[in-house]
Structure 1
């Protein structure tokens, strides 16, 4: 049994959109080396500088 639907619903509830609808910029966080999203956040939990 897959939890994909549950995870998508939790992401939508928390962030207001589905995970696959997040828009990423070309910027990469210097701390965690992940993409920065449209709101300036990355995977390490803080705002990218």
Structure 2
């Protein structure tokens, strides 16, 4: 149904086909995201809910 509606609207000139591509890559060092040195998975003492 969607394809048929798009085809009718395209044939009538009611659709502007605009394509936007974002190829952004974001990288962060492991220490920048709060990873503990040595790979410890225990929560930070100041974190909410930490015991």
Q: What is the TM-score normalised by the length of structure 2? A: 0.27
Highest relative contact order (Cα 8 Å, sep 6+), 1 or 2? 1
- Name the TM-score, length of structure 1 as normaliser: 0.28
* Larger strand proportion of the pair: 1
| Structure possessing the higher radius of gyration over alpha carbons | 2
